[in-house]
Structure 1
Amino acid sequence: MPFRFLLYLQPVRYFSVPRANGNYIYPKAESIPENILEKLATSSKYTSKLATEYDLSWQAIHIGFVKGATFYNTFEKLPIKDEYVFLRSYFRPIWSLYVLLIRLVSFKNPFAEIGAFFYAQDVKKQQLTNNAIERGAFENFESKLVGNNPLVSVIIPTLNRYEYLKDVLKDLEKQTYTHFEVIVVDQSDDFSEGFYAPFNLKINLVYQEEKALWLARNTAIEVSKGEFLLFFDDDSRVETNWIFQHLKCLDYFNAEGSSGVSLSTVGAKVPENYSFFRIADQLDTGNVLLKKDVFRKIGLYDRQFEKQRMGDGEFGMRMYKHGFTNISNPRASRLHLKVGTGGLRHMGSWDAFRTQKLFAPRPIPSVLYFYRRYFGKKRSWFALLKTIPPSIVPYRFKKSRKLKLLGIFVSIFLLPIIGVQVLISWRKATQKLKQGPQIRALN
């Protein structure tokens, strides 16, 4: 990663590791197009030219630069002052203090660390989204892909949610792009084949006795007839141009993936960091269009995540590592109802970090399996340090900064119990790592 201190704040982010060809996602400053450079500015507090160049690269990716440059395959060590300047430029001040404390307890030179910390105190945080790349050409883009009318396979696993699935299928009936099939893998206790009869859709219904989300998605992929696979959840609502916008995005960027935005309330605005096209830093199988050829090349979903979490995150990481382009697409949003019954809540662990029992693993073992497999032990521990204390706060309060801070203090008192929970999860993740990935090939 361009700045070493990102290790503490983003230890398990896709962009922190190189892809299979050895290149990172960050473009070399001298190869960034002039029209993009005009949008960028760096702090005059940097003490090295290299830090300025790395900063430009960081900004370019985070305002939506996608393709058309040469990329770094190595990064040189920067002065400590420049690391703190970078943190102050793009993160809230509390995170600079967080990094300082970690480095002090890690026996780094206290005089150098404290001096560098205060050197950067007058640096103001930049709002990168204000400089996001505008895609005016997208609006009038005539997509040849859409014009070719390819078959899209919409994949929906469902479990005990007929009440919500009804609205999902009604939304699909209203789509402006009509050349698609719907593959529903139904695992409901009271399976009702007749439920699907009234809908004016081409539905391929698969009944699956085993309640297994990733098996359901893998099965749907294998029986799909389309070369474009659109993954959807059974508790979501979408606009009439949802499929169209996904296909158009794929074509415009010549990408392999289009990751739509998920909103949690009716009428909610798309968050600023998702309000423009950019390289996606996550993959959500509740709203993503992928080329089927991706699965042919890197395999299906890893069933080590069955009844647990982050199976889509792992697949997104595999895509990233293999050099596939996945675009965060603000035009293809969905309303995610997150209903309290059925689905993954019924099968197992819905929340990755909050436990239901006193000595249940924290986080869910599949999370540590993912972290350790791709990022190693050291980064996994940094990820735990950043995510475990806030998880003490109930899910419904997770966006409250004050309660997150309270959670950090509470976690100190609960440290013995939390320590046991983490060790249980670590041991179970170790077993998963020994077993290895459960990834079938797509023939």
Structure 2
Amino acid sequence: MLIVYHNGATVVELANVKAFDVDKFSLKSISSALIEVAKNHPEEILVWCHIDFKLQLNVSAIEKLLHHKKVLLSYNPSDIPFLDSAIGYIDASLFIQINKAVPFPTWQMSSIVGCVNSEVLLALNNEITLDKNFDYFLCSLGKLMMPKGLLCYSEPQLLKNESKSIIAKTSQYTLFRFVKQHYRTRWVFLLLFNLFIYERKFPLLPFLFSLFYKNRSKTNINLDDIKVQSSRKVIDKATVDVIIPTIGRKNYLYDVLKDFSKQTLLPKKIIIVEQNPETESTTELDYLTNEKWPFEIQHIFTHQAGVCNARNLALNETQSEWVFLADDDNRFEATLLSDIFSKVEQYGNEVVTTSYPQKNEIKKYTKVIQWPTFGAGNSFVPRAILTDVKFNKAFEFGYGEDGDFGMQLRNLGYDILYLPEPEILHLKAPVGGFRTKPVLRWHNESIQPKPSPTIMLYQMAHCSKEQMNNYKTILFFKYYKFQTIKNPIRYYIYFQKQWQRSVFWANKLNKQNEI
């Protein structure tokens, strides 16, 4: 482990680094110094730390935290991020609003403290400019490498305590430059527009200067040669229970059970929650008792419809070490469960979501990456952490329950990884399922809420103020061509009323269905 201490501008001290003199780096940027150290120590862990935090650096924890070679960690004890919260005006992802209390996925790295394996820096191969501003370089590194399979986290355990902080707030010139270099050009215009609309600012010069910078997104960085084998032990017994909510899909569910019966690693128990809102109805799943199955089947029949309620009922009945959240219209190979456990062991990550293509759909993501949502029909979760989360019934019959469930997991410190292999085929059956939804309370209102109150509820719960305002801006323009009011001023007034009704119903849902 090699430690580089800096003062924010240059390297001032080296620990465990031989053949280097600090004076050698006096005229070099911190990022250049790190690359040079990496070239001379290609198999080491590189740590950077601001000199003011030297005594707080938790050196003894670093090797455990950096549990495989494709991990990038940093921590900023300040509540003010380097790029400012205004980055939310153009980035709607969950990586923007960071929970500082737990390890949290984000590309927003910090110069205060952090660590990475030398192999990651060597893989850059001069594809990224070694910016003089170290915070800018680190954020650029995280933003560009995260989609390529680098797992990036804010990790509070890098410091022993948070008695002091350094505020390195960026200028608007830097913010606009970062947006231009890491997003599509149109987002620079959107940033300017949102700053004017919501903050009454019009930073014309930062906007104009940013247009001269070249975008960095199309880099040829490849991390595939970096081998991953986590030192963490997250699997003990490798037993799994499966939960499946179902409604009106007898034949599809039968095929799913047959696929499970052929698994090389059989599930211990499959919990099926069958729903039929007809009060006089009874189960149609006769094959659950007429046939023999190589696992226990627990069948719950209920007249209460709703996928959130169904999954919560099933989760309460799980007993094995792991839980597979499945769906009633999936198909998969016989090695699905064993292959997933192999990936979990390799990456040392507790929560994974598999590739979930429909028939003839081309797979878009081919690398193991940090997933921005959660698949409620194709995910593995340890049962031990499910005692603190559940599907929020405020989202029942709406949208966002799976994303909300994923955010609950992340706010407990559990990231969600996407696995391109193995994959689960999603048939998206045209019959039954939860696509038959009841008439919701706001459907008969004269002013229809926009967006859907459940989408608004998710925004209010998990997005920053800037992200919500950006969502409002985009929705305003996208919805314009689909509605009948063509006078822009009248449309704006009506849209504001729709937005307020959505906020009203979102708050009402939240109060009536508090977890």
TM category, shorter: 0.7 to 0.9
Aligned position for 1:402: none
Instruction: Work out whether 1:172 is the aligned partner of 2:260.
Output: yes
Aligned position for 1:37: 121
Aligned position for 1:161: 249
Equivalent position to 1:277, from 368, 374, 389: 368
User: How far has the Cα of 1:176 moved from its partner?
Assistant: 2.9
Alpha-carbon distance in structure 2 between the residues aligned to 1:88 and 1:45? 17
Instruction: Work out whether 1:55 is the aligned partner of 2:135.
Output: no
Alignment of 1:395-410 (within 5 A): none
Gaps of 5+ in 2: 1-80
Alignment of 1:185-264 (within 5 A): 185-188=273-276, 191-196=283-288, 197-198=290-291, 200-202=293-295, 203-264=297-358
Alignment of 1:32-431 (within 5 A): 32-40=116-124, 48-66=133-151, 76-106=168-198, 109-110=201-202, 113-127=203-217, 130-131=220-221, 133-134=223-224, 137=227, 150-188=238-276, 191-196=283-288, 197-198=290-291, 200-202=293-295, 203-266=297-360, 268-271=361-364, 274-296=365-387, 298-348=388-438, 359-375=447-463, 377-387=465-475, 389-390=477-478, 414-431=491-508
User: How far has the Cα of 1:291 moved from its partner?
Assistant: 0.3
Q: What do residues 335-358 of structure 1 show as CA deviations (whole Å, max 9, x unaligned)?
A: 3233444322213599xxxx9997
Report the 3-state secondary structure (helix = DSSP H, G, I; strand = E; otherwise coil) of the residue aligned with 1:153. strand
Report the 3-state secondary structure (helix = DSSP H, G, I; strand = E; otherwise coil) of the residue aligned with 2:356. strand
Alpha-carbon distance in structure 2 between the residues aligned to 1:155 and 1:57? 36
Alpha-carbon distance in structure 1 between the residues aligned to 2:380 and 2:472? 31
Alpha-carbon distance in structure 1 between the residues aligned to 2:187 and 2:148? 21
Q: TM-score, length-normalised on structure 1?
A: 0.79
- The 8 Å contact of residues 43 and 123 in structure 1, kept in 2 or not, is answered as no
Report the identity percentage: 19
Structure-2 change in CA distance of 1:393 and 1:33 (3 Å): farther
Alpha-carbon distance in structure 1 between the residues aligned to 2:430 and 2:498? 25
Q: Partner amino acid for 2:419? A: N
Equivalent position to 2:94, from 13, 32, 37: 13
Q: Partner amino acid for 1:279? A: Q
Q: What do residues 29-83 of structure 1 show as CA deviations (whole Å, max 9, x unaligned)?
A: 6522221122346765967443223222333444333379966998632122222
Alpha-carbon distance in structure 1 between the residues aligned to 2:439 and 2:375? 16
Report the 3-state secondary structure (helix = DSSP H, G, I; strand = E; otherwise coil) of the residue aligned with 2:454. helix
Report the 3-state secondary structure (helix = DSSP H, G, I; strand = E; otherwise coil) of the residue aligned with 2:298. strand
Q: What do residues 306-328 of structure 1 show as CA deviations (whole Å, max 9, x unaligned)?
A: 22221221121121122123222
- The 8 Å contact of residues 88 and 96 in structure 2, kept in 1 or not, is answered as no
Alpha-carbon distance in structure 2 between the residues aligned to 1:356 and 1:175? 48
Relative to its length, the structure with more strand (as a share) is 2
Q: Partner amino acid for 2:140? A: D
Report the 3-state secondary structure (helix = DSSP H, G, I; strand = E; otherwise coil) of the residue aligned with 2:245. strand
234-243 or 409-418, which moves further after superposition?
409-418
Q: TM-score, length-normalised on structure 2?
A: 0.69
User: How far has the Cα of 1:286 moved from its partner?
Assistant: 1.4
Structure-2 change in CA distance of 1:133 and 1:54 (3 Å): same
Report the 3-state secondary structure (helix = DSSP H, G, I; strand = E; otherwise coil) of the residue aligned with 1:31. strand
Structure-2 change in CA distance of 1:306 and 1:114 (3 Å): same
- The 8 Å contact of residues 164 and 234 in structure 1, kept in 2 or not, is answered as yes
Structure-2 change in CA distance of 1:105 and 1:389 (3 Å): closer
- The 8 Å contact of residues 46 and 81 in structure 1, kept in 2 or not, is answered as no
Q: Partner amino acid for 1:312? A: D
Report the 3-state secondary structure (helix = DSSP H, G, I; strand = E; otherwise coil) of the residue aligned with 1:17. coil
Relative to its length, the structure with more helix (as a share) is 1
User: How far has the Cα of 1:265 moved from its partner?
Assistant: 3.4
User: How far has the Cα of 1:99 moved from its partner?
Assistant: 1.3
Largest Rg, 1 or 2: 2
Structure-2 change in CA distance of 1:116 and 1:28 (3 Å): closer
Alpha-carbon distance in structure 2 between the residues aligned to 1:130 and 1:169? 43
Alpha-carbon distance in structure 1 between the residues aligned to 2:292 and 2:267? 15
What RMSD over aligned residues (CA atoms) do the two structures have, in Å?
3.8
Q: What do residues 87-115 of structure 1 show as CA deviations (whole Å, max 9, x unaligned)?
A: 122211111111122223346553xx332
Gaps of 5+ in 1: 395-405, 439-443
173-182 or 126-135, which moves further after superposition?
126-135
127-136 or 13-22, which moves further after superposition?
127-136
Alpha-carbon distance in structure 2 between the residues aligned to 1:429 and 1:69? 30
